[in-house]
Each structure stands twice: as structure tokens, then as C-alpha cells.
Amino acid sequence: MRIGESVRRGVFFPPVSSAARAFASLCSAGSIVLCLGLSGRAQTRETAQLPWGHPDLEGTWTNATLTPLQRPPELGSKSVFTPEEAAAWARQRIEQTNADRPSRPGEVGAYNDAFFERGLSGVKSRRTSLVIDPPDGRIPALTAGAQRKVDARQTHEAASPADTPEDRWLTERCILFGATVPMLPEPYNNNYTIVQTPDYVIIRVEMNHDTRVIPLDGRPHVAASMQQWIGDSRGRWDGSTLVVETRNLKFNDKSRFGVGYLNGLSDENLRVVERFTRTDANTITYQATIDDRTVFTQPWTVELSMDRTQGPLYEVACHEGNYGMFNILSGHRAEERASKR
């Protein structure tokens, strides 16, 4: 939605560095400690390491990709495409996801294709899914208890799809998308700015304009009773890889995994471990392991490419004038009135 946002707002942003943009944003929000840590710094850097010795992850990155979260069943055991297969798959995906194609009967339409940001290719590894473990590229089965919760949710949705806003997905309510923890691609706004200090890594997420502040000083996690939508993250360096563990993720049965996995479920036991590795000047390889033993029968891991891109990041004004939610609720009220005639 970055193109649409800039056109709609009619604004122009000068080409400043990612560190400068994040610095200004954080300082204006009153993050005094972080501002002190960032002041006096060079605002652009192409070296592999920062002055204090940590690997350099700074910059603006995108994880937009045509690779699906789960391996399509028709691909069977095929985990990696050949270059020729990857190119053909990309062409097919672009055609299938083109929002400007004629609508099928019953479709109400959405944004036009200029608003979407899925990229033009799959991940650099040419894997057939973002899920790399289990090896079949599929999210593991739910536990018996979690399946009962999903069945109950589906029963409620069939009877009361839109009695209140709480009946709708977190994405529709502009509360949470899949782009935070774990950092899963969405149909648009797949951009991130990373800023580093010796004691923190700051990840500014374009989708829903969330900012993650990740301490590196070894402090313990906060009490389990203190839950947040983006959780409580703690980072450490494992050689050249930044490892981030997130706990205390506030849960809701309407799925925290975004558009790519709306049928997903999590609970208070969810734990996510992310790994960020700079693999070349223009790429960060990102892995995230989702561990929720009371929901999934085993942990599962995704891997994707984060490619260097140009900023700036735009504010996502999702909740302001959320006509989609208004129309969903009013549309169901109209259907109910019609059924009583």
C-alpha cells in the first residue's frame, strides 16, 4: 500500500537514510535513552560490522515474496524449484494474484493491484514454501484441544459471522497483522527499518506502524502476566546471527498470523525464536520457529529473504475510517432484515 498511501496523502519524502528516519521517529516519540544511544552516529553504513563489533543489520528491508506460507499440495515432496521452475511459478503467481483481473461471480472486489506488494519473485532459496520445517512444508497438525477450539470458532462464525467487531479477524479490526512476531509477509506493507545501538536492536514495522525495541543486555523477560500484542522480546548474538526470543504474546482466537494463515490459533504458551543473519550486502536471511505445544503437535519454522529496499516507511492508517469493518457489520444487518421479510 506504500504507493497508494503516498498518492493519497499527496506528500513527498526526501531520500534520507533509514537510520536517520528511525532516529527522528523514535526521538519525536520521546525515546530518550535510545536517542542518546543513537546520537553522534554515522547515519549510513555499508560495512559488515558496526563500530562496537556487532554485525550490521541496519537499513530498510522488504520481505515481500510470491512464495506461499505453506507448500501447495499439488507440489507433493518438491521442496526446491529449479531456476526455470521458479520463474514459471512466479509468472503464474503474478497472474493468479492480480487484483485487476475481472471479478468472479459473488466477489465484491478490493484494492486495485497498485496497492499490493507481493514482490515479483519467490524467496532466494527457491523453496516452494516459507515453512521449511516440517520437511513437507506444511504447518503441523493441531493438538486435540486446539482443534476443538477451532471447531467451536467455526461453529460460532457460521451462526454469528459479524454480530460485533469481536467476531472478525484481528487484521480486519486493525489490531494485529502477521508482520510483527513472527515477521510473516502480508499482501502489502512488507517493509522494515532496522536500527542498532550497542544495547538495543530496533525494528520499525511498516504494517500497522509497530516498533519493536529489543534489549541485548541479558535482562530477564517480564512477568508472564504482562502480555502484549507484540510480546516481550530479548535478543542476543550467536556469532553473526541475531537471535531474538519473544514470549508473553497476547493471544486471541481470531489468529495472530495474518492473512496468510487466518485459520491459525495461538494461546498463552506461544514462544517465537527468530534468527536474523546478514548473508550478503543486500540480503538478511530470516528464520522464525513457532513453538506452542498446547496448539501445535510440534514446532514449525519459516525461512524467508529480507531484501534491501528504499525507504521511507509510511504510516499505515488502518483504523482511521475503517470502512471495511463498518460495511461488514452493516451488510450483515441488512441480510438479517432481508431474511425476516
* pLDDT computed for residue 326 by the predictor: 87
What does the alpha-carbon distance between residue 316 and residue 209 come to, in Å, rounded to a whole number?
6
Residue-wise pLDDT for 1-18, tens only, equals 433 333 333 332 233 334
Taking the C-alpha atoms of 132, 137, 143 and 147 in order, what is their torsion angle to the nearest 10 degrees? Answer: 130
Q: Is the dihedral of CA 276, 273, 201, 70 positive or negative?
A: positive
Q: Hey, which residues does 167 pair with through a beta bridge? A: none
35 by Cβ neighbours in 10 Å (0-12 / 13-18 / 19+) ranks as middle
Mean predicted confidence (pLDDT) in 84-97: 92
Q: Distance between the two ends of the chain, CA-based, in angstroms?
A: 41
Mean predicted confidence (pLDDT) in 59-81: 96
107 by Cβ neighbours in 10 Å (0-12 / 13-18 / 19+) ranks as exposed
Residue-wise pLDDT for 245-281, tens only, equals 999 999 988 989 999 899 899 999 999 999 999 999 9
165 DSSP 8-state letter:
G
Q: What are phi and psi of 154, to 5 degrees?
A: -65, -35
Q: What number of H helices and E strands is found in the chain?
A: 6, 10
**Lowest mean per-residue pLDDT among 31-35, 54-58, 212-216, 321-325:** 31-35
102 by Cβ neighbours in 10 Å (0-12 / 13-18 / 19+) ranks as exposed
Residue 288 near residue 302 (C-beta atoms within 8 A)? yes
Residue-wise pLDDT for 107-165, tens only, equals 777 778 888 888 889 999 999 999 999 999 999 999 999 999 999 999 999 999 999 99
C-alpha cell at 139: 504447518
Mean predicted confidence (pLDDT) in 157-185: 92
